[in-house]
Chains A and B, each alone.
Chain A
């Protein structure tokens, strides 16, 4: 627990610091998803959440941050890569759905998308 945050500029940072950034992104994403009525806003929230998770993955796998017994190797980065790719795929699908919904309902307000049939 030594010097977690004091003298941030003169001491190395740890995984925990990255995770805090990840947590911030994650939370922002969650809040975004919870509060935006625009479907695209929700989509952006999802992106943020995934990004927050990615930061964690990268940080845990980083040999700069972990001690000598770090054993993750490239696993963290590979996971992050997959997440990125899946996020891209998911973004594409979501966008497509949104456009479809916009075409049928004339709006991207998800509050109106409360029926399974468009």
Chain B
């Protein structure tokens, strides 16, 4: 089978199907509005089914593509990373779908770059998207009819009544799926940027889905604008590459990078600029420090959105891009990536401990886990980071969907009003427990069994261990101990969440009384995702097939070596394969394990056994608590240092127009009017000396006769004006003709 034709076809189709569903749903949903109606209950339901079917079909196509890939590229047969020193690219297929523009030697196109990573991501994204679509049938069903939004009061003080927007939700979900797949399949960085922005706008729509709520629209704006700040950096990265290499195609960039600057490559400073620039985009999209503030606010969107967009897929796009562009990053940039990742994971984990909104806890945990991925990539753990991306996608979407199920049942996000729910909703409770165990990386290191997160988090810690071993400087050691501490905090806040929600006694009897288990369409995706959250990290029985072996096949050329920094010559990024050595694997595994268990124990002591009383702890650490409660005061900081100055600056610019330029223009006109009046009066005096009266009479008479022309009709005036102009030209041309001739 010819992969060069089949893979783009299959994945292209899988990519475009959601777009088709978007077009169908959006046009179908808008048509009744031309007539002044709203989409009917039935047609909205159909919209949901269409979108889900498209998504499911995409998943099947992706699976087919995966099967085709695996038959042609058996795992283990080609291990570009297996032999240090061999720098050939992993097996991939690239080409263009169509060209956007070309100027001389410069080409921009919509194309594809397909390797194992692409196919794996396709399967992951479409699978989770399908689950979320199906889940939304149940979760969004209230939107099918008219909705009473109790969180919004209209002018007369009553709760807002509005028509349901069920189909809109699926419309945006479809567009999002399309855009996300576009990022994944993109064959060049320009296309990545295009879809990067598109996922951003989908996220904007989905966060602001409840457009009537000010909090939702503010959050949507914040998300998009903060992302734009990152995209600004990304644009700089693109410009650097584009201006130096003359191409943005992955399959052309990577070989060119290896060349020296004189032969068409990039000089080292430019490489650093390009790397950091690209990473800025990833910082924004993946909500890394210092651009993380949008993600917690993004939880204003409906929960399925949080599960799909703001945990599993879109926010992981930054990590994906770092993985995709890995050869561009030089060791110094990788160090930056690692440091940002480490700061992010620690910061977010600490904030998550105090949050009381169930979705915010999960949001901060997402940020923290993304920090792990970035850290791993930055320390040279290419497979580890992306492996964690995949496993995280499954258990985090599971966790979010579970939280959605809880919110659906109790109609609040506030953990303080939950408790004891495991009796009312056992399916949700235990699938969520699976998710929690997966995210803390539960497993037994000695026996090598555990939940999916166990394998991926261990891989990250192993790489960190290996890095710390290769760089003896104590500062670099922080990059090992921060994630270890993070693992403990993860267990702490995740189980705090679970205990507060499901264990103990109900804290709000009223809400507890009304709680109920969710419908089948919501439970089924939970169970499926829970299964995957357990097993996605495992090796497929009787084969070599596992996520890691798939990713290993896509390992970019050049990452299989230990590299040294050029500016920081002491910096060593170790080869990832070195981290599989038992003398690293074993202690790293146990360290993670004990950290996680420590966190779990602490959470259990505090929230289940209640030996420690959370309230007392809050009292004794009041300053720390308020620091964490206010999310490190990032929002306030940005408000005062960035937002407000920008607005002041904008007012200043606007007032330049009003107070400087306009008065200048007015002044000039006044001066010229004065001059005109002066000349006028001078002329007047002379005229008085002459035959003023005759002239006046003459003028009077002429005026009388010309008065006929003054009909007051403006169009006539204009015609006169035009005619006069034309006449003048004609006269002038005649006159000059004679003048020259004569």
Contact with A along B572-593 (1 / 0, CB 8 A): 0000000000110011011000
Q: How far in angstroms is the closest Cβ of chain B from A95?
A: 27
Q: Does B446 contact A (CB under 8 A)?
A: yes
Q: How far in angstroms is the closest Cβ of chain B from A96?
A: 31
Q: In the complex the two chains form, what is the Cα distance from A7 to B583 in whole Å?
A: 13
Q: Which residues of A contact B582 (CB under 8 A)?
A: 2-3, 6
Q: Does A8 contact B (CB under 8 A)?
A: yes
Q: In the complex the two chains form, what is the Cα distance from A47 to B447 in whole Å?
A: 35
Q: In the complex the two chains form, what is the Cα distance from A2 to B587 in whole Å?
A: 10
A39-91 CB contacts (< 8 Å) to partner B: none
Find out whether the CB atom of A6 lies under 8 angstroms from the CB atom of B583: no
Q: How far in angstroms is the closest Cβ of chain B from A7?
A: 7
Q: Which residues of B contact A8 (CB under 8 A)?
A: 446
Contact with B along A1-44 (1 / 0, CB 8 A): 11111111000000000000000000000000000000000000
Q: In the complex the two chains form, what is the Cα distance from A4 to B446 in whole Å?
A: 10
Find out whether the CB atom of B587 lies under 8 angstroms from the CB atom of A7: no
Q: Does B445 contact A (CB under 8 A)?
A: yes
Q: Which residues of B contact A3 (CB under 8 A)?
A: 582, 586
Find out whether the CB atom of A5 lies under 8 angstroms from the CB atom of B583: no
Q: Which residues of A contact B590 (CB under 8 A)?
A: 4-5
Q: Which residues of B contact A5 (CB under 8 A)?
A: 445-446, 586-587, 589-590
Q: Which residues of B contact A1 (CB under 8 A)?
A: 583, 587
Q: Which residues of B contact A2 (CB under 8 A)?
A: 582-583
Query: Mostly helix, strand, loop or mixed at chain B's interface?
Result: helix
Number of B positions contacting A (CB below 8 A): 8
B409-455 CB contacts (< 8 Å) to partner A: 445-446
Residue among A2, A6, A7 with max Cβ neighbours from chain B (10 Å): A6
Q: In the complex the two chains form, what is the Cα distance from A4 to B589 in whole Å?
A: 11
Q: In the complex the two chains form, what is the Cα distance from A3 to B582 in whole Å?
A: 7
B538-597 CB contacts (< 8 Å) to partner A: 582-583, 586-587, 589-590
Q: Which residues of A contact B587 (CB under 8 A)?
A: 1, 4-5
Q: How far in angstroms is the closest Cβ of chain B from A3?
A: 7
Q: In the complex the two chains form, what is the Cα distance from A3 to B587 in whole Å?
A: 9
Q: In the complex the two chains form, what is the Cα distance from A5 to B582 in whole Å?
A: 10
Q: How far in angstroms is the closest Cβ of chain A from B171?
A: 53
Q: In the complex the two chains form, what is the Cα distance from A1 to B583 in whole Å?
A: 6
Q: Which residues of A contact B583 (CB under 8 A)?
A: 1-2, 4
Q: How far in angstroms is the closest Cβ of chain B from A76?
A: 26
Residue of B nearest to A7 (CB): B446
Q: How far in angstroms is the closest Cβ of chain A from B48?
A: 50
Q: Which residues of B contact A6 (CB under 8 A)?
A: 445-446, 582, 586
Q: How far in angstroms is the closest Cβ of chain A from B578?
A: 14
B589-625 CB contacts (< 8 Å) to partner A: 589-590
Q: In the complex the two chains form, what is the Cα distance from A8 to B154 in whole Å?
A: 67
Q: How far in angstroms is the closest Cβ of chain B from A71?
A: 27
Q: In the complex the two chains form, what is the Cα distance from A7 to B447 in whole Å?
A: 8
Contact with A along B517-553 (1 / 0, CB 8 A): 0000000000000000000000000000000000000
Q: In the complex the two chains form, what is the Cα distance from A7 to B589 in whole Å?
A: 13
Q: In the complex the two chains form, what is the Cα distance from A3 to B583 in whole Å?
A: 7
Q: How far in angstroms is the closest Cβ of chain A from B184?
A: 37
Q: In the complex the two chains form, what is the Cα distance from A6 to B583 in whole Å?
A: 10
Q: In the complex the two chains form, what is the Cα distance from A2 to B589 in whole Å?
A: 14
Q: In the complex the two chains form, what is the Cα distance from A8 to B446 in whole Å?
A: 8
Residue of B nearest to A2 (CB): B583
Q: In the complex the two chains form, what is the Cα distance from A3 to B446 in whole Å?
A: 10
Q: In the complex the two chains form, what is the Cα distance from A7 to B445 in whole Å?
A: 10
Residue of B nearest to A9 (CB): B446
Q: In the complex the two chains form, what is the Cα distance from A8 to B445 in whole Å?
A: 11
Q: How far in angstroms is the closest Cβ of chain A from B612?
A: 10
Q: How far in angstroms is the closest Cβ of chain A from B339?
A: 27
B632-675 CB contacts (< 8 Å) to partner A: none
Q: Which residues of A contact B589 (CB under 8 A)?
A: 5
Residue of B nearest to A6 (CB): B586
Q: How far in angstroms is the closest Cβ of chain A from B488?
A: 15
A74-118 CB contacts (< 8 Å) to partner B: none
Residue of A nearest to B594 (CB): A20
Q: Which residues of A contact B446 (CB under 8 A)?
A: 5-8
A-B pairs, top 9 by smallest CB distance, nearest first, are A1-B583, A6-B586, A5-B590, A5-B586, A4-B586, A6-B446, A4-B587, A8-B446, A2-B583
Chain B residues with CB under 8 Å of chain A are 445-446, 582-583, 586-587, 589-590
Q: 22 interchain pairs (CB within 8 A)?
A: A1-B583, A1-B587, A2-B582, A2-B583, A3-B582, A3-B586, A4-B583, A4-B586, A4-B587, A4-B590, A5-B445, A5-B446, A5-B586, A5-B587, A5-B589, A5-B590, A6-B445, A6-B446, A6-B582, A6-B586, A7-B446, A8-B446
Extra contacts, 19 of them, besides A2-B583, A3-B582, A5-B587 (Cβ < 8 A), are A1-B583, A1-B587, A2-B582, A3-B586, A4-B583, A4-B586, A4-B587, A4-B590, A5-B445, A5-B446, A5-B586, A5-B589, A5-B590, A6-B445, A6-B446, A6-B582, A6-B586, A7-B446, A8-B446
